[in-house]
C-alpha cells in the first residue's frame, strides 16, 4: 500500500522498506550488524554517533517471521493494519535520525502531525525513558539554510512494562500506548525539512554526546507522519452600507431597503451563503424588526456576500433618536449600522466631560464623559481614555488598564463612559477622551484632574 498523507512521502514507512530491519524479522542481517543504507522510501537517515550499524530500524506488525507476534500491536490510530510500518529511531544501539524535505510555500502555516509510542520490546533499558526530538528546519538537503530551526519539540516516554511475556520467552511485550503529537510552523521558503532523531536517554537539548547516559538500546517508535497546510481563522467586517448612514425614517414609520456586504477584513473577499444574525439596539427609540416586533433577526448572505433588508423590515418607534443594528457572523460581531428616528437636530457626535475632577493622591477616582448624537446619549460605543499630561501627579489608568470603555447608562445618564484612574503625587493632570465613529470624524474632549 502506498500511503499518500498530505505533503509527506511514505509517512507510514511502507514503501521501499527493505533496509534496516531488526534481527528477528530475518531481513538482510550479517552477524550482529544490520544492513546499512542512507535512505529508504523518501527518507534520508543518519546517526549522531558514527557506527557501522543501522541508523534506524523499520519494524513490521505483519511480517510472517515475527515470532510470537512481538510487534502485533504496532498499528497506530488511522493506520492501515496490513500496510503500515513503524520506525525505531534508536536503530541498532545508535543515536539515529531520519529526515525528509517537503515542498512548502513561503509564509504559509503548516501542521506536522505524527504518532509516537513506547517500544514493545524493552528488556535492555529498564529504568530509562526513551525520547524523540522532532525538528522542522528551513531549506533542503545541501541547502546552506538547512539547520535553521522553525520549530522544535522533545518528547520523553516514561519507562514501563505492560502486557505479557511472549511464549518463546524473547522479551516482554509492551503496549505502545500510541499518542498523536502536533507541531506548528510557518515556512520561510519553498523547501522545508522535517527531522526525527533519538534524543537519547537523557533527552538533553542540544544532544550531549559525551553523556554516558545518552546512548541506549531502546528508542521511541514513530509512525503515521503527515504535514498539512493550516487555514487561519478568518475575521470579517461589513462594507458598502446603503443608503448612507445614518439610515433615516420618521417616527413610527418603516425604514426603506437597507443593504450591506460581509467581507473578510484582510483581502476583502466576500463571505457567500453564510448565516448572519442582526441585533437591534433601540436606545430608547422604540425601533424594532416588524416581524413580531423583535430586536433580533436571522438572515444570510447571498452568493456575493450581500445582505438585503427589504422595505419595512425595520420600523421606527415613537421616540426620536439614534439606534444601531449589530451584525454577527457566528458569535463574532463584524459591524454595526447606524439608524436615525425623526428629525434629530444634528448628526454630530459629541463628548461632554464631567470635569474638573478633584481627588487625593493614592485614591482611585472615576472619570466620566457622555457620548451623544443629536442630543441623545448613545450606549454601547467604545470610548478611549488616554493620559496625555500626567504632570507631577504620576496619574495612570487603573480600571480598565487599556482605557477602552463601552458607553452605557451610569447614574441614569445614557451614553456615559467611566474610567478609573489613580495618582501618586499632588499636581494637575490632563486626560483626553476620544471616540471615532465608523467612517466618520473623530471627536474628543479633555478632562482636568486636580490632585491634592
Quick: pLDDT tens for 405-439: 999 988 888 899 999 999 999 998 899 999 998 77
Domain 23-229 and domain 236-341, same fold? Reply is no
Average pLDDT of span 76-94? 61
Query: Does position 355 have pLDDT exceeding 70, yes or no?
Result: no
What is the pLDDT at residue 77? 54
- Asked if 121 contacts 221 with a C-beta cutoff of 8 angstroms, the reply is no
Entry pTM: 0.48
Q: Domain-by-domain residue ranges, the chain?
A: 23-229, 236-341, 349-451
Q: How confident is the model at residue 72 (pLDDT cuts 50, 70, 90)?
A: very low
Q: Which of helix, strand or coil describes residue 429? A: strand
CATH of domain 236-341: 2.60.40.10
Paired residues of 142 in beta bridges? none
* C-alpha to C-alpha distance for 406 and 384, rounded to whole angstroms: 9
What is the pLDDT at residue 60? 59
What's the pLDDT tens digit per position in 124-176? 445 567 788 899 999 876 666 666 788 989 888 776 555 444 444 444 456 67
* C-alpha to C-alpha distance for 180 and 115, rounded to whole angstroms: 4
Cβ atoms within 10 Å of 387's Cβ, excluding its own: 19
What is the pLDDT at residue 398? 92
CA atoms within 13 A on the CB side of 156: 11
Query: Does position 17 have pLDDT exceeding 80, yes or no?
Result: no
Identify the DSSP state of 68. Answer: G
Average pLDDT of span 386-401? 92
Cα torsion at 185, 187, 191, 192 (round to 10°)?
Answer: -20
Peptide bond into 438 cis (omega under 30): no
Nearest to 90 by CA among 121, 68, 135: 121
Residues in Cβ contact with 403 at an 8 Å cutoff, skipping those fewer than 6 apart: 384, 385, 386, 397, 419
* C-alpha to C-alpha distance for 309 and 246, rounded to whole angstroms: 15
- Asked if 59 contacts 79 with a C-beta cutoff of 8 angstroms, the reply is no
CATH of domain 349-451: 2.60.40.2410
Q: How confident is the model at residue 203 (pLDDT cuts 50, 70, 90)?
A: very low
Mean model confidence pLDDT for the chain = 77
Fold of 23-229: Jelly Rolls (2.60.120)
Q: How confident is the model at residue 279 (pLDDT cuts 50, 70, 90)?
A: very high
Cα distances (Å, whole numbers) of residue 295 to 75, 251, 260, 290, 315: 55, 17, 19, 9, 11
Amino acid at each position: 500500500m502506498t500511503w499518500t498523507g498530505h505533503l509527506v512521502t511514505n509517512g507510514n514507512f511502507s514503501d521501499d522498506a527493505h533496509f534496516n530491519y531488526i534481527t528477528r524479522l530475518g531481513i538482510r542481517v550479517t552477524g550482529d550488524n544490520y544492513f546499512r543504507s542512507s535512505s529508504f522510501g523518501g527518507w534520508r537517515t543518519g546517526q549522531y554517533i558514527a557506527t557501522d550499524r543501522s541508523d534506524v530500524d523499520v519494524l513490521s506488525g505483519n511480517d510472517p517471521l515475527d515470532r510470537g507476534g512481538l510487534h502485533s500491536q504496532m498499528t497506530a490510530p488511522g493506520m492501515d493494519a496490513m500496510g503500515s510500518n513503524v520506525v525505531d529511531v534508536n536503530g541498532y544501539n545508535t543515536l539515529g535520525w531520519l529526515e525528509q524535505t517537503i515542498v512548502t510555500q513561503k509564509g504559509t502555516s503548516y501542521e506536522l502531525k505524527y504518532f509516537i509510542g513506547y517500544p514493545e520490546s524493552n528488556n535492555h533499558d529498564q529504568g530509562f525513558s526513551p525520547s524523540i526530538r522532532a525538528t522542522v528546519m528551513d531549506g533542503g538537503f545541501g541547502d546552506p539554510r538547512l539547520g535553521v530551526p522553525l520549530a522544535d519539540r522533545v518528547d520523553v516516554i516514561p519507562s514501563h512494562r505492560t502486557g505479557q511475556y511472549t511464549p518463546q520467552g524473547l522479551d516482554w511485550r509492551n503496549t505502545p500506548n500510541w499518542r498523536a503529537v502536533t507541531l506548528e510552523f510557518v515556512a520561510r521558503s519553498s523547501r522545508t525539512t522535517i527531522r526525527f532523531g533519538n534524543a537519547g536517554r537523557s533527552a538533553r537539548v542540544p544532544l550531549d554526546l559525551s553523556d554516558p547516559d545518552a546512548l541506549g538500546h531502546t528508542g521511541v517508535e514513530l509512525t503515521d507522519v503527515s504535514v498539512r497546510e493550516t487555514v487561519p481563522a478568518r475575521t470579517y467586517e461589513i462594507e458598502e452600507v446603503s443608503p448612507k448612514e445614518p439610515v433615516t425614517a420618521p417616527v413610527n414609520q418603516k425604514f426603506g431597503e437597507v443593504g450591506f456586504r460581509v467581507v473578510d477584513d484582510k483581502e476583502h473577499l466576500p463571505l457567500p451563503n453564510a448565516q448572519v444574525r442582526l441585533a437591534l439596539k433601540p436606545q430608547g427609540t422604540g425601533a424594532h424588526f416588524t416581524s413580531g416586533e423583535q430586536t433580533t433577526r436571522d438572515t444570510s448572505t447571498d452568493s456575493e456576500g450581500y445582505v438585503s433588508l427589504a422595505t419595512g423590515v425595520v420600523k421606527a418607534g415613537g421616540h426620536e433618536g439614534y439606534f444601531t443594528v449589530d451584525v454577527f457572523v457566528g458569535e463574532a460581531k463584524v459591524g454595526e449600522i447606524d439608524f436615525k428616528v425623526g428629525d434629530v437636530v444634528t448628526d454630530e457626535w459629541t463628548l461632554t466631560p464631567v470635569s474638573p475632577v478633584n481627588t487625593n493622591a493614592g485614591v482611585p477616582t472615576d472619570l466620566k464623559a457622555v457620548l451623544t448624537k443629536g442630543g441623545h446619549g448613545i450606549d454601547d460605543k467604545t470610548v478611549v481614555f488616554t493620559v496625555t499630561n500626567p504632570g507631577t501627579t504620576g496619574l495612570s489608568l487603573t480600571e480598565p488598564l487599556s482605557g477602552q470603555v463601552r458607553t452605557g447608562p451610569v447614574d441614569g445618564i445614557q451614553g456615559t463612559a467611566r474610567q478609573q484612574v489613580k495618582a501618586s503625587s499632588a499636581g494637575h493632570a490632563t486626560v483626553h477622551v476620544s471616540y471615532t465613529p465608523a467612517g466618520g470624524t473623530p471627536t474628543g474632549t479633555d478632562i482636568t484632574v486636580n490632585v491634592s
